Amino acid sequence: EFLSTGKLEFLEKLKKEIPTGLVEWLPIPGLGPKRAAMIWKALNITTFAELEAAAKAGKLRDLPGMGAKSEAAILEGIASLSRRIVRIPLGRAYPIAQALIDEFKKVKGVVDAQPGGSLRRMRDTVGDLDILVASKDPQAVMDMFVKLPRIHRVLGKGPTKSSIEFNDGLRVQLWVHPPQEFGTASIYATGSKEHNIRLREMALAKDLSLSDHSFKNIIDGSEIFCATEEEVYDVLGLPWIPPELREDRGEIQAAKANKLPKLIQKKDVKADLQMHSTWSDGKLSMLEMARASAKRGMKVIAITDHSVSLGVTGGLSMERHKEQAKEIKKIQKQLGDSILVLHASEVEIRADGTLDYPDEFLASLDLVVASLHTSLRQPREKVTQRVINAIRNPHVDIIGHPTGRLIQEREGADLDMEAVLQAAAETGVAMEINAHPARLDLDDIHARRAKELGIPIALNTDAHSEEDLDMLPYGVATARRAWLAKNDVINCWPKDKLLKWLKKRGK
Ligand code: DGT
Ligand code: CA
Ligand code: ZN
């Protein structure tokens, strides 16, 4: 019905019957559909705010089936929902998890500790931190866990699973298993849920019931214990599947056919083609950025200071660019052949779809990144056309952080990404995965689509400081979630191949 008419009559009918605001009540613990409907009808209230006011005024306790206790539980649920940040950016979650893992490793009996859940799968945001510990003495870890500083409350404490909420609303779930079960436990806790469902289906086809503890034979009750993930996949006749792929997006079929991609690794990345220096809004000089990059294994960098119209960043005039070119020649002599510094620019795609510099000038640079920073809220058609204009400019080599999103802060532009990628496939421009954890833009889904269309991917830190250079792993993880191999990413190409590619694009 939906496909042929674009509507669902029954759904429309329900929408008329039930106020949509009520749906927002459902995440409150202890408030199911029945109770929500009862409160709505009894008090004639439909919004979250009205519910909170009613609970505070003591109007819920006298309703059928309720009491002072359930009223207090609803108030507490509302408070905890508002304390909770919706999802946590990976860049904030990961260092916290790492610090906790280091603490767990010091506890007596602990053999191993690692991230689980979406954290281990390196999603760009995570709902909570899942951490998995292998220990001969689970009690000791659990006891230490629930006594960590800055805990707001303990949500649950059991022999294998406990969870807590910190004062700032961050939630952590800890799973503890004996080392001989760590393989099944790790797969269970890593997820995704959808991936695990597929694995359990495959196990059942072999008369095995897969849990976090073991495979149990459903006929004779015998058990298979797996200390490693490899053993678990092996029982199912599969090669080990990297966590970043475990989203039930075709990885099981690929694994069965032995067609899993050989995923890109951090050590494959030898070039960083977007970074900023004191010539615009960066913190370090070009020489310092080059040395810091070389120290991290880079062989090529592009200094992409902002272009003239991005005034707040001290965008460069063409005159200033001439001086910058001279300076780059000078520092290149100092650096020798340890690292090659390209004279580049992050050129603004202006609101009217033109670029900040004339074509003749763009042609004189070693590399051109074109990006959106302003007028992101233009209508879909207009903002899409802006990006496509930049893609069609033969002097543009890379489209930087294509949507302009800032995770949990601002939505990206409303791009018709399929149209953008189709245009990129025609011109051969590279699309960036910006590695900064606030961006991760392209995201995993779009980057995977780009690969399917044969579009080269650029993987850049967009560093404005030395610390920013260390954000590369987040970009690598996004590339891995997009199924990318090192050949798909221009930053992994040998220097000669990269320079040849730039030359072909008129540089
Ligand atoms: P998140 O926290 O929303 O970013 O997503 P996840 O994937 O970390 O999910 P979470 O925290 O609810 O659960 C952690 C892991 O636990 C998940 O990756 C797989 C496992 N898990 C959770 N619920 C279920 C379930 O209903 N069935 C199965 N098989 N596994 C589950
Ligand atoms: Ca989680
Ligand atoms: Zn930018």
409 Cα–ligand 2 center, Å: 21
Task: Output the residue whose Cα is nearest ligand 1's atom 22.
Answer: 193
What pLDDT, in 10s, does the model give residues 423-479? 999 999 999 999 999 999 999 999 999 999 999 999 999 999 999 999 999 999 999
Higher pLDDT, 129 or 84: 129
pTM: 0.85
* Pocket-forming residues, ligand 1, beta carbon under 6 Å: 117-118, 123, 126-128, 130, 188-193, 196
Q: Atom of ligand 1 at shortest distance to CA of 125?
A: 4
Residue minimizing CA distance to atom 10 of ligand 1: 117
Instruction: Identify residue 240 by its one-letter amino acid code.
Output: W
Nearest-atom number in ligand 1 for the CA of 118 is 8
Residue 336 burial class via C-beta count within 10 angstroms: exposed 0-12, middle 13-18, buried 19 and up: exposed
Does an H or E element contain 258, and which?
Answer: none
Residue nearest (by alpha carbon) to ligand 1 atom 1: 127
Mean pLDDT of 141-148: 95
For residue 348, give the ligand nearest its CA: 3
Atom of ligand 1 nearest to the CA of 123: 4
For residue 327, pLDDT beyond 80? yes
> pLDDT per residue over 375-428, tens digit each?
999 999 999 999 999 999 999 999 999 999 999 888 999 999 999 999 999 999
With cut-offs at 50, 70 and 90, classify the pLDDT of residue 145. Answer: very high
Cα–Cα dist 467/177, whole Å: 36
Residue 83 has a pLDDT of 65
pLDDT band at 84, cuts 50/70/90? low
- In this prediction, residue 49 has a pLDDT band, given cuts at 50, 70 and 90, of confident
pLDDT tens per residue across span 90-124: 999 999 999 999 999 999 999 999 999 999 999 99
Chain segment 181-219, per-residue pLDDT in tens: 999 999 999 999 999 999 999 999 999 999 999 999 999
Q: What Rg value do the Cα atoms of the chain yield, rounded?
A: 27
Ligand number, closest to the Cα atom of 185: 1
Q: What's residue 85's pLDDT?
A: 58
Q: d(Cα 144, Cα 166) in Å, to the nearest integer?
A: 15
**What confidence category does residue 29 fall into, taking pLDDT thresholds of 50, 70 and 90?**
confident
Helix (H, G, I), strand (E, B) or coil at 80: helix
For residues 490 and 127, give the distance between their C-alpha atoms in angstroms, rounded to a whole number. 32
Cα–ligand 2 centroid distance for 145 (angstroms): 17
* Structural contact between residues 71 and 61, judged by C-beta atoms closer than 8 angstroms: yes
CA distance 62 to 52: 15
197 CA: nearest ligand 1 atom: 29
- For residues 78 and 486, which has the higher predicted lDDT (pLDDT)? 486
Query: Mean pLDDT, to the nearest integer, of 147-172?
Result: 91
pLDDT at 410: 87
